[in-house]
A and B are shown apart, each in its own frame.
Chain A
C-alpha cells in the first residue's frame, strides 16, 4: 500500500456538517464532544491484545472465544456493548495453514471498542477494493508474505457483525507471561495485515 491515503477531505466535510448542525441548533458542540468521548473511552488495541494473550495462555478461553466471542469477553473485563447496542463479535483464528484478514468494502465497519479508531488505510478505496480481489499481493505489500499453500479468507463485514483476528502466537514465547505476550500484539496483527 502506498501509505499516502489521507482522511483530510472527509474530515473537512464532517466538520462542515457539524458546523451546519450546530448553527441550526440541532446539536451543541459540547454534546458532540461528549458523545465522541464516550464512544472512544477505553477503545484501544490494548483490548484486542489482551484478548489474544489470554487465548494463547488459556485453552478453555480460546475455545469459548472462537465459539461465542460475546459470551467470552466478560472473562477479560470487556464487552461489545460500548455503542448504541451490543454488536456481535466473531473471532477468527490464524493457524499454520490458514490466514484471515478483515475489511469493510462498503464503508469502514471495524471493532472500534477492541482495536481503537481504524487506521486511515483501512478506510482507503485502494485497500477496500484490492484486498478482496488479491489479498496475497496486498498482504505482501504490507510485508506479510504467506506460503503459497496458506488458505486465505477475507472477511467483508457488510452487516451487523464485527470481526477480530486471533493471530498466531509468536515462536520462542513459551515462558512469556500474559502481559508480556499482550505487549507483542499489534493492531495490524488483529486486522490480519501482519503477523505478530
Chain B
C-alpha cells in the first residue's frame, strides 16, 4: 500500500497506508472513487483487489488478519523480502 495522505477524497484507510499486504483476489474493475468524488467526467476504471494484512504487521500484535479493498493505483508491488 502506497504511503502518504493524498488530497481530496480517497478510500484507502489510513491504517493500511505504507503497510505490506498480500493480494488474495481481484474483484473486478470499478471507477476510481477519488475521481468520481472530484467530478471527473470520465473517471479512470481500475481493478480493485482484496488485500490481506496481518494484525502483527498493522498493530504489532494480534493473530488475526484484516482484508481491505483497494484500487490498483493505491498499491505498489514489493519484493518477497518486503523491500
Who on chain A is nearest to B33 by CB?
A: A159
Complex: how many Å from CA A135 to CA B59?
Answer: 12
| A158 engages B69 (CB within 8 Å) | yes
| Contact digits for A150-173, partner B, Cβ 8 Å, 1 yes 0 no | 011111111111000000000000
Who on chain B is nearest to A103 by CB?
A: B66
Report B-chain residues with C-beta under 8 Å of the C-beta of A161.
27, 48, 50, 69
| B64 engages A157 (CB within 8 Å) | no
| A160 engages B65 (CB within 8 Å) | no
Q: How many residues of A contact B (CB 8 A)?
A: 20
| Contact digits for B30-74, partner A, Cβ 8 Å, 1 yes 0 no | 100100000000000000101010010011001111111111000
B residues near A (Cβ < 8 Å) are 11-13, 15, 27-28, 30, 33, 48, 50, 52, 55, 58-59, 62-71
Instruction: Provide a sorted-by-A list of 30 A–B residue pairs whose CB atoms are within 8 angstroms.
Output: A88-B28, A90-B27, A105-B13, A106-B11, A132-B58, A133-B55, A133-B58, A135-B64, A136-B62, A136-B64, A151-B63, A151-B64, A152-B64, A153-B52, A153-B64, A153-B67, A156-B13, A156-B66, A157-B69, A158-B11, A158-B68, A158-B70, A159-B30, A159-B70, A159-B71, A160-B27, A160-B48, A160-B69, A161-B50, A161-B69
